């Protein structure tokens, strides 16, 4: 199944100059970039992404940290497409807690902070990247971040290998 998914390179990934490295990982395995933009997220927009559901599941403090973090600097937003792209991207990104993310994943290779450290210091966990969690999230997040006019159809050489 060909799927679309959202990836955000968060402010820490941009500030640490990891944008090219992260994007190249997705391109190397054959995912296609349908849309990409470099933006500074406003608080109003961040609240549409990190909805009240997050507060219900993970607590209001966590949501507030996420809102603070995503608005502290520029973000690179990507819409990626490929065979089972949602699951593939989640596997490549690694676990949400950098300390626990497997080596070879983006978070496992480029970050190390633990939940306990972040909680103790009342800071958001800086984990470089957001990726849609599942099909339902992707179907909500992609149109939030990209209009249809901002998504481009074209063929890449990898596509001849999946037909």
Domains and CATH numbers, the chain: 2-148 (3.30.70.141)
35 forms beta bridges with: 79
Total-model pTM: 0.93
- Residues marked active site are found at 130
Interval 150-161: pLDDT, tens: 999 998 888 777
**In the predicted model, what is the mean pLDDT of residues 9-22?**
98
Of the pLDDT bands very low, low, confident and very high (cuts 50, 70, 90), residue 30 is very high
* Environment class of 94 (CB within 10 Å of its CB; exposed 0-12, middle 13-18, buried 19+): buried
* Environment class of 43 (CB within 10 Å of its CB; exposed 0-12, middle 13-18, buried 19+): exposed
Interval 129-141: pLDDT, tens: 999 999 999 999 9
Q: How far, in Å, CA of 72 to CA of 57, rounded?
A: 23
Q: How far, in Å, CA of 125 to CA of 104, rounded?
A: 19
**In the predicted model, what is the mean pLDDT of residues 92-115?**
95
B/e letters for 9-23, b = 16+ CB within 10 Å, e = fewer, are: bbbbbbeeebbeebb
Q: Are 81 and 32 in contact (CB under 8 A)?
A: yes
């Amino acid at each position: 199944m060909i799927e679309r998914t959202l990836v955000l390179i968060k402010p820490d990934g941009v500030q640490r100059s990891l944008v090219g490295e992260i994007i190249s990982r997705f391109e190397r395995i054959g995912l296609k970039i349908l849309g990409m933009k470099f933006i500074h997220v406003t608080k109003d927009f961040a609240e549409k992404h990190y909805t009240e559901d997050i507060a219900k599941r993970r607590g209001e403090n966590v949501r507030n940290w996420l809102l603070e973090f995503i608005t502290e600097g520029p973000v690179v937003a990507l819409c990626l497409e490929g065979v089972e792209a949602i699951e593939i991207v989640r596997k490549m990104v690694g676990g949400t807690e950098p300390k626990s993310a497997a080596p070879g994943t983006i978070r496992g290779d480029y970050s190390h902070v633990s939940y306990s450290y972040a909680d103790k210091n009342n800071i958001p966990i800086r984990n470089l990247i957001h990726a849609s969690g599942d099909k339902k999230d992707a179907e909500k997040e992609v149109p939030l971040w990209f209009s249809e006019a901002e998504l481009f159809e074209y063929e890449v050489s990898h596509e001849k290998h999946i037909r």
